Amino acid sequence: MDEQKVLVTGGAGFIGYHLCRKLSTITGNLTIYDDLSSGKIENVNDVPSAKFVKGDILDLQTLCGLPKQDLIYHLAAQVVVPYSMENPLIDFETNAKGTVYVLEKARKDDAKVVFASSAAVYGNPSVFPTPETYGFHPFSCYGLSKVVGEEYCQMYRDQYGLDIVITRFANVYGLRCHGVIHDFLDKLAKNPNKLEIIGTGKQSRDFVHVSDVVEALLRVGAGDKFNGEIYNLGVGKSTSILELAQLILTILGLQNRTIVTTTNQSWQGDVTKIWFDISKAQKDLNWVPKVTLEDSINEVIADRKISI
C-alpha cells in the first residue's frame, strides 16, 4: 500500500481518525476529506503526515478536483439514528446522494472503494447471529440511506467495473468516540451513587473495538481479492446495555453502591438486538477481533483518569 494514494472521507471522525492513524504508517499519500460537521480538527492534527482537505462530499467539484486516488475509504456520513428520523432529507442527502458523489470520484479515478455500512441495514433482525445474507430490512431512515449507499456501490461495481468492498459495522467503540461506555463513565464520575440508563436497558449490541475494525478495513483494502464482498464487522457476541452497566460498575468496584435506573423509553428507529455472524470475515480476512469490553472500559478509565 506504500505507493498508493488513499483518500478517507470522514477521516476527521471517530473511526476515520483511528483508520488514518494506522494508514499514515503504511502510505505516504494519505488524504483526509471531511467537512468537520461532526469530525474534529484535533483528529486531523493528530495525523500530521496526512493532507487535509476541508470539504463536503456533496461538493462534487472539490471532491473530483482532488488528485487521482487508488483507494477510497468512504466513511463520511450522518451517523445519528434519531436525527435521521427527524431529518430524513438531510440524512438522505449525506448518506445516499453523498455516496453516489464519492462513487463518481472513484469512477473518474478508477479507484477501489471500501464503503462503511452499518448493522442498521438489517433493521430489527430475527435471525441470530445475523449473517450478511439476512437481507435488507431497515428500520430507520439512517438504515435505509445506508441500504441505498450499498446498492449504488453494487451498481457501480456491476456497471462500471469498480472494485468495491462493503463493510457493515456493529457498534464500534474506543477512545475518541461518544458512545454508551463514555456516557456511563462520565455519569458515574459525576455521581457514583446513581446511573440512569436511557431506554429500557434490555437492548443489546455487538460491541467491537475500533482497532479491530481498523485491522479488518486494512485487510479488505489490500489487494483485489475481496472485490464485491460484504463483511459484518463485530465480535459475534451480544451484550445488553444493563449487562454493560453492570460490567462497568464491577470494574469500578461500585456494584454494591450504585443504583441503576432506566427511563424505560426507547426511541424511533431503535433496534432491540444486534448480534453479528462474523464467520465470513474471520475466514476470508483471517481476522479475529482481539479487544474485550473489559479491556476497552479500562482503556477509557485510564484515558480519562477516572478515579472513584
Ligand X SMILES: NC(=O)c1ccc[n+]([C@@H]2O[C@H](COP(=O)([O-])OP(=O)(O)OC[C@H]3O[C@@H](n4cnc5c(N)ncnc54)[C@H](O)[C@@H]3O)[C@@H](O)[C@H]2O)c1
The catalytic residues are 142
The Cα 242–Cα 239 span in angstroms is 8
**Smallest distance from ligand X to CB 279, Å:** 19
| 244 part of the interface to ligand X, by CB under 6 A | no
Residues 106-135 contacting ligand X, CB under 6 A = 116, 118
Q: Which of 1, 36, 90, 189 binds ligand X (CB under 6 A)?
A: 36
Size of residue set near ligand X by CB under 6 A: 28
- Pick the piece of the chain touching ligand X (CB under 6 A) from 20-28, 31-39, 215-223, 238-246: 31-39
Q: Which helix (H) or strand (E) holds 153?
A: helix 141-160
Q: Which of 6, 16, 230, 244 binds ligand X (CB under 6 A)?
A: 16
Q: Which of 58, 100, 189, 254 binds ligand X (CB under 6 A)?
A: 58
Q: Is 205 helix (H, G, I), strand (E, B) or coil?
A: strand
- Pick the piece of the chain touching ligand X (CB under 6 A) from 34-42, 194-202, 240-248, 251-259: 34-42
Residues 170-209 contacting ligand X, CB under 6 A = 171-172
**Smallest distance from ligand X to CB 41, Å:** 10
Q: Binding mask 68-107 vs ligand X (x if CB under 6 A, - otherwise)? A: -------xxxxx--------------x---x---------
Cβ–Cβ < 8 Å for 107, 156: yes
Cβ–Cβ < 8 Å for 122, 144: no
Residue 286: CA count within 13 A, CB half-sphere = 1
Closest listed residue to residue 129, CA positions, set 236, 243, 268: 236
Q: Please, which residue, 208 or 252, has the CB nearer to ligand X?
A: 208
Q: Which of 6, 7, 12, 300 binds ligand X (CB under 6 A)?
A: 12
The Cα 289–Cα 291 span in angstroms is 6
Q: Please, which residue, 15 or 50, has the CB nearer to ligand X?
A: 15
Cβ–Cβ < 8 Å for 34, 54: yes
| 35 part of the interface to ligand X, by CB under 6 A | yes
Q: Which of 169, 184, 275, 276 binds ligand X (CB under 6 A)?
A: 169
Taking every pair of Cα atoms in the chain, the longest distance, rounded to a whole number of angstroms, is 60
Residue 82 phi, psi (nearest 5): -60, -35
Cβ–Cβ < 8 Å for 227, 281: no
| 166 part of the interface to ligand X, by CB under 6 A | no
Within 141-280, strands assigned E span 164-169, 171-173, 194-197, 204-205, 207-209, 230-233, 239-240, 259-262
Residues 133-152 contacting ligand X, CB under 6 A = none
| Binding stretches for ligand X (CB under 6 A) | 9-10, 12-16, 34-39, 56-58, 75-79, 94, 98, 116, 118, 169, 171-172
